Structure 1
Amino acid sequence: MMQVEVVLALPERQELVVLQVAAGTTARQAAELSGLLARFPQLETESLKLGVFGKAVKDDAPLREHDRVEIYRPLIADPKMVRRQRAEAGKQMKKGGGH
């Protein structure tokens, strides 16, 4: 058995679950075992994106001791589209946060 964490960042809070799993457990299996997918049904489980320590991984990626599986929520807006819309509106993005 090995210990892993599964985390989900919501706009208002972060959920973290510590699990004891068998060697060979995948990122997707850990996400399901955490119960977070069941607690938050608004997550689209078919198109769910996962990562380990900030790096995207495939669902079937095997985990190692003390890995932190991150469940990524879908983006609200496509960053490329937002930049394109600003450019079309004549607003240029400036360095330093637009100051």
Structure 2
Amino acid sequence: MPEVLIEIEVVYAAVDRQVLISLELPSGSTAGQAIQASGIQQQFPAVDFAQCAVGIFGKVIGNPQQRVLEAGDRVEVYRPLLADPKEIRRLRAAKAAKARTEE
């Protein structure tokens, strides 16, 4: 009996470029296996993909090694944030408030 293959995509966006890799994997493959099979580690050798958050269509998944993929899934590897967005907004609001009181 022939092995059933599913088509998926693996994406990663660095600061200066983004990569989308289309793959065919055996049915039952996990998100972790898709990342390995994509070869994305060779394109971004400085990135520790084991430490990056992973999601499927914008929803973070807990354990990529256990999440079984479905046909058409897009596995997204997220780079770590340099700063907490909430903290940045808080600092920006404080700076704006200070500027208003000094006028």
Work out whether the TM-score is over 0.5: yes
Deviation of residue 46 (structure 1)? Answer: 2.7
Deviations 1:49-83 (A, max 9, x none): 11111111131211000111111011121112223
1:52 matches 2:56: yes
Report what 1:4 is aligned to.
8
Q: How does 1:14-33 map to 2 (within 5 A)?
A: 14-33=18-37
Query: Which residue pairs with 1:91 in the alignment?
Result: 96
Q: How high is the TM-score relative to the length of structure 1?
A: 0.79
The one-letter amino acid paired with 2:24 is Q
Opposite residue 55 of structure 2, the aligned amino acid is: G
Query: How many residues matched?
Result: 91
- Per the TM alignment, residue 87 of structure 1 is displaced from its structure 2 partner at its CA by 4.8
TM-score calculated relative to the size of structure 2: 0.77
Amino acid at match of 2:84: D
2: CA distance between counterparts of 1:8 and 1:82?
A: 24
User: Which contiguous aligned blocks of 4+ residues in structure 1 show a shift greater than 6 angstroms?
Assistant: none
Partner residue of 1:68? 74
Identity of aligned residues (%): 42
Q: What is the CA-CA distance between 1:41 and the residue it aligns to?
A: 1.9
Structure number having the greater helix percentage: 2
Match of 2:46 in 1: 42
Tell which structure's C-alpha radius of gyration is larger: 2
Contiguous gaps of at least 5 residues in structure 1 = 93-99
Q: Which moved more, 1:62-71 or 1:75-84?
A: 75-84
